[in-house]
């Protein structure tokens, strides 16, 4: 996650919770209306419990890097994920050893993705480092993955030889690409392989309108909402995001992004924060974002090219 532009309001979700606006005093009518609204909301919730508190979640953006497993051993990490009610978790790590440790502990829960980084320090240099390719190749030969990523790439760098080779490897093995970057990088990868499948990390930190424009152009593009607080405030989905979810109910998914070891302790809180705002959406849309879309994205995987 490091080195990425963040929206200014990004301190999820504590900042979001802190803004319960006091009502202006004095107006009895307003108070009666508020009371009536509360009753109506209560009735609606009784009549149609939109989203259960135990809604399963597929977390599509988790890292378990070397400093995380030093402080939180695999058994405890898996216990934490299960406690949060996560049904599946897509994990990538610097190095890949972290992902393999978690996968060995809970193959039913962990969905492995192969990160090009051997250490944290490679985020800004990997795309010009040819040694990344034999590294990826040897890991791909040794272990099973659903994706290559999360990796960071912006603009014209997506057309550099190392990135092109990554796109070819994904194509060869029928893997998803988990791409953290701008819309320009997404477009360049689709030009290299129009049949690619891309999960756009953090929805590119782009505005909902820009995300929608890019999704419209590419049916095999999905977006995770990791490390964004702007989709909802106080359990209410923001209007622009509601429009995006309504237009593309099958393309968004959740992610915690445990980019530092401390973020692991935040996994259960993130899950309950997400369940609160998902309850503000129609059940089908909420379940899609919570877990069905991620499962469908994996199922849509293109078979590897025959040798
Ligand atoms: Zn990340």
Residue 13 token pair: 């979700």
Q: What is the pLDDT of residue 40?
A: 44
Q: What is the pLDDT of residue 83?
A: 93
Distance between Cα 296 and ligand 1 center (Å) = 21
Per-residue pLDDT of the chain (307 residues), as tens digits, is 444 433 333 334 443 333 323 333 334 444 444 444 444 444 444 434 456 678 999 999 999 988 898 899 999 999 999 999 999 999 999 999 999 999 999 999 999 999 999 988 888 899 999 999 999 999 999 999 999 999 999 999 999 999 999 999 999 999 999 999 999 999 999 999 999 999 999 999 999 999 999 999 999 999 999 999 999 999 999 999 999 999 999 999 999 999 888 899 999 999 999 999 999 999 999 999 999 999 999 999 665 665 5
For residue range 255-273, what is the model confidence (pLDDT) as tens digits? 999 988 889 999 999 999 9
Distance between Cα 215 and ligand 1 center (Å) = 20
**Crossing angle for the helix pair 208-217 and 183-192, to the nearest 10 degrees:** 10
Residue with tokens 């009536």: 36
Distance between Cα 149 and ligand 1 center (Å) = 9
Task: Give the Cα separation of 292 and 123 in Å (integer).
Answer: 30
CA 85 vs. chain centroid, Å, equals: 16
Give 221's strand partners.
198
The model's pTM is 0.83
Measured CA to CA in angstroms, residue 52 lies from 13, 55, 187, 289, 306 at distances of 20, 5, 37, 14, 44
What the chain holds in terms of domains, given with CATH numbers, is: 56-299 (3.20.20.140)
Distance between Cα 61 and ligand 1 center (Å) = 6
Nearest-CA neighbor of 97 among 66, 76, 125? 66
Ligand 1 is an ion; its neighbours by CB within 5 Å are: 1, 150, 257
* Helix (DSSP H) and strand (DSSP E) numbers for the chain: 13, 10
Distance between Cα 256 and ligand 1 center (Å) = 8
Q: What is the pLDDT of residue 57?
A: 97
Measured CA to CA in angstroms, residue 233 lies from 13, 109, 189 at distances of 8, 29, 34
Q: What is the pLDDT of residue 138?
A: 96
Overall residue count recorded for the chain in this entry: 307
Residue 12 token pair: 């999820």
Q: Where are the alpha helices (DSSP H) in the chain?
A: 14-17, 28-47, 66-71, 74-83, 96-105, 132-142, 161-173, 183-192, 208-217, 239-247, 267-278, 283-287, 293-299
Task: Give the Cα separation of 289 and 249 in Å (integer).
Answer: 7
Sign of the C-alpha dihedral computed for residues 35, 286, 182 and 178 taken in this order: positive
For residue range 9-20, what is the model confidence (pLDDT) as tens digits? 333 444 333 332
Q: What is the pLDDT of residue 36?
A: 46
Task: Give the Cα separation of 193 and 167 in Å (integer).
Answer: 7
């Amino acid at each position: 996650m490091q080195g990425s532009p963040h929206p200014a309001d990004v301190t999820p979700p504590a900042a979001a919770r802190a803004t319960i606006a006091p009502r202006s005093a004095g107006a009895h009518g307003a108070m009666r209306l508020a009371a009536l609204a509360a009753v109506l909301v209560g009735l609606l919730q009784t009549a149609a419990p939109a989203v259960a508190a135990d809604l399963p979640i597929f977390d599509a953006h988790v890292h378990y890097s070397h400093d995380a497993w030093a402080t939180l051993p695999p058994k405890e990490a898996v216990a934490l994920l299960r406690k949060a009610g996560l049904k599946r978790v897509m994990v990538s790590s610097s190095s890949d050893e972290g992902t393999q440790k978690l996968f060995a502990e809970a193959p039913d829960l962990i969905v492995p993705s192969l990160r090009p980084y051997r250490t944290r320090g490679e985020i800004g240099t990997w795309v010009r480092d040819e040694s990344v390719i034999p590294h990826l190749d040897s890991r791909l030969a040794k272990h099973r993955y659903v994706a290559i990523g999360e990796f960071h790439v912006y603009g014209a760098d997506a057309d550099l030889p190392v990135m092109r080779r990554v796109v070819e490897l994904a194509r060869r093995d029928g893997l998803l690409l988990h791409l953290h970057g701008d819309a320009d990088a997404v477009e360049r990868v689709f030009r290299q392989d129009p049949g690619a499948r891309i999960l756009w990390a953090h929805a590119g930190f782009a505005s909902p309108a820009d995300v929608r424009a890019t999704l419209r152009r590419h049916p095999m593009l999905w977006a995770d909402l990791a490390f964004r607080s702007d989709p909802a405030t106080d359990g209410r989905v923001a209007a622009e995001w509601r429009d995006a979810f309504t237009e593309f109910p099958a393309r968004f998914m959740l992610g915690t992004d445990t980019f530092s070891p401390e973020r692991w302790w935040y996994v259960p809180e993130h899950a309950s924060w997400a369940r609160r705002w998902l309850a503000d959406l129609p059940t089908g849309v909420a379940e899609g974002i919570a877990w069905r879309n991620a499962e469908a994205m994996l199922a849509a995987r293109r078979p590897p090219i025959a040798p």
